[in-house]
Amino acid sequence: MKPDTESEVRDEVSLDATAAHARDQGGPGAAVYAPKCVCIVSRWNFRGFRDFLVLLYNLSLSPLPFPLERIVGNFMTEVPLPPAGRVTVQYMVMPDTPTIAFQRPAPNRRVDPWELDYRTVFECLDLDNIVLLLRCMLVERALILHSTQFSLLTKASEVLVSLLYPLRW
């Protein structure tokens, strides 16, 4: 059967590669494990992002009637950016999960760098590297952050973006 769309072609190639890997690693019935990683990259520093990722992780530990990708897709397409000010957007993944709230500060108020761990980032990176990263961000160069401690990647990226204020990304 010939695939109709490009995504079907990619899926077919991916399935063929997985089957070949399983065949090479122990036969056609061998289990194949592939890690998943979900990361939210945004210019907005919402605490709700962390809450959503923790909730997504907790949901991944139990069987679901639908794939996690459906939750991520719904989150990305259905949750609006709250307007600046006092309006709060609330999102609930499933009826028995906690509500996640998103709120932006007023337009005349500086972005609130709540719970940003500047100290840890400045202890891990020397001043020359921080200045180099800021310079690259200001001229819109691509950045790749690498660390053996995955928790530092998010902290470093949030701190670097907050240092750009009042400029907009």
Q: Are 15 and 1 in contact (CB under 8 A)?
A: no
pLDDT tens figures, 6-16? 444 333 434 44
Displacement of CA 12 from its chain's centroid (Å): 27
pLDDT at position 18 is 45
Question: In the chain, which residues have pLDDT < 70?
Answer: 1-34, 108-115, 168-169
Q: What residue segments make up the domains of the chain, in order of their start?
A: 35-109, 112-169
Task: State the CB neighbour count (10 A cutoff) for residue 40.
Answer: 16
pTM: 0.52
pLDDT at position 9 is 35
